[in-house]
């Protein structure tokens, strides 16, 4: 193969990316080997010699002899680097908005993580809503998940983040890169690549503290406690021998005796909520908030 000038290399690369952009639909495309041979102005035997040599460096499918798609774009990048004798071509594909390798996807995930954390940092906790959600779920985590979904439009957050990411990096968004990155994000959401509960754990802990006035126990400690004690009943007399003033205030507010049972607590809660909930009592919002707070305090006290 003859040595290429800088202008020839640049022109060939631009032509390849233009070909991909022309046929790209949300970063899905195909370019045939014949088209590549034409654009690169390389002898057919030289092209396939380099192509087959890739097998020694990367696992390569025989389908690659027909051409390349977005699914084996990393191999196309490698092939072009060998033909054009230049490195770092993955960045040119990203700039063209037709392919993002693992390096750029890592950057993208980190960028969105910072956006989520920044949004949480500026967010004022809606205690009333979170209390209502806690009262209707068994686990705080589930309640907070519902709260997060309600307060944060994740779809919009991601869309804005994608636009900003593409703009900051100088990547083209004209060929479906935004759709590709959006689909990619929702595929990895709640996986080890983007574990939303882990990412938001610090704020979850702070929210728990604001609601209950104490730090959360580790989930494994809760499980261990449940296994050793099963579900400890509220009727256990020893529990009330050291009843503190705050516990007594919540219990008496709900009209429960010292030896109340878990069932009695739930029934009293339902009875009072029915009476004071704003849906049936326009002046009952404050009372409803107190009922929920007392109920959740006593429930969490037993965990």
What are 134-148's pLDDT values in tens digits?
A: 988 888 999 999 999
One domain, residues 159 and 78: no
Domains in the chain, number: 3
Token code pair at residue 168: 């900051």
Predicted confidence at residue 2, as pLDDT, reads 65
CATH number at residue 260: 1.10.287.110
228 within domain boundaries: no
121 and 74 housed in the same domain: no
**What's the pLDDT score for residue 236?**
40
Contacts 24+ apart (CB under 8 A), 135-138: 135/269, 135/292, 135/295, 135/296
Q: What pLDDT sits at residue 55?
A: 65
**What is the pLDDT at residue 151?**
94
Q: Which domain holds residue 70?
A: 6-96
Residue 220 maps to a domain: no
Q: Tell whether 233 is covered by a domain.
A: no
Do 64 and 159 lie in a common domain? no
In which residue are the tokens 């959360």 written? 216
Confidence at residue 118, expressed as pLDDT on a 0 to 100 scale: 95
Q: Are residue 16 and residue 78 in the same domain, yes or no?
A: yes
Both 130 and 65 in one domain: the answer is: no
pLDDT tens by residue, the chain, 303 residues:
567 888 999 999 999 999 999 999 999 999 999 999 999 999 999 999 998 888 655 544 454 578 999 999 999 999 999 999 999 999 999 999 999 999 999 999 999 999 999 999 999 999 999 999 998 888 899 999 999 999 999 999 999 999 999 999 999 999 999 999 999 999 999 999 999 999 999 999 999 999 988 887 654 444 444 444 444 443 443 434 457 788 888 888 889 888 888 888 888 888 888 888 777 787 888 888 888 888 888 877 765
109 and 88, same structural domain? no
191-219: b or e for each residue (b if 16 or more CB lie within 10 Å)? eeebeeeebbeebbeebbeebbeeebeee
Q: Is residue 150 part of a domain?
A: yes
Last residue of a domain, one of 212, 229, 259: 212
pLDDT in tens, 73-132: 999 999 999 999 999 999 999 999 999 999 999 999 999 999 999 999 999 999 999 999
Residue 260, in any domain of the structure: yes
């Amino acid at each position: 193969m003859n040595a290429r000038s800088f202008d020839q290399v640049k022109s060939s690369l631009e032509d390849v990316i233009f070909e991909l952009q022309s046929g790209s639909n949300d970063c899905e495309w195909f370019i045939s080997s014949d088209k590549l041979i034409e654009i690169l102005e390389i002898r057919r035997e030289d092209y396939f010699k380099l192509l087959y040599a890739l097998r020694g460096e990367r696992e390569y499918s025989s389908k690659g002899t027909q051409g390349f798609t977005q699914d084996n774009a990393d191999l196309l990048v490698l092939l072009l680097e060998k033909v054009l004798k230049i490195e770092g071509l993955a960045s040119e594909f990203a700039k063209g908005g037709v392919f993002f390798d693992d390096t750029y996807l890592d950057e993208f995930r980190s960028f969105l993580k910072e956006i989520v954390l920044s949004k949480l940092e500026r967010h004022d906790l809606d205690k009333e809503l979170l209390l209502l959600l806690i009262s209707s779920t068994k686990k705080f985590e589930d309640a907070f998940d519902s709260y997060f979904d309600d307060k944060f439009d994740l779809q919009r957050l991601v869309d804005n983040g994608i636009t900003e990411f593409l703009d900051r990096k100088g990547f083209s968004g004209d060929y479906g890169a935004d759709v590709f990155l959006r689909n990619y994000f929702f595929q990895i959401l709640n996986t080890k690549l983007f574990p939303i509960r882990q990412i938001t754990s610090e704020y979850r802990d702070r929210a728990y503290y604001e609601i209950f006035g104490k730090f959360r126990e580790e989930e494994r400690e809760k499980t261990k406690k449940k296994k050793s004690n099963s579900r400890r009943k509220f009727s256990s007399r020893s529990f009330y021998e050291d009843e503190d003033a705050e516990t007594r205030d919540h219990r008496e507010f709900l009209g429960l005796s010292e030896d109340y049972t878990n069932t009695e607590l739930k029934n009293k809660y339902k009875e009072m909520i029915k009476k004071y909930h704003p849906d049936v009592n326009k002046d009952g919002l404050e009372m409803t908030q107190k009922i929920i707070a007392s109920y959740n305090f006593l429930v969490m006290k037993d965990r």
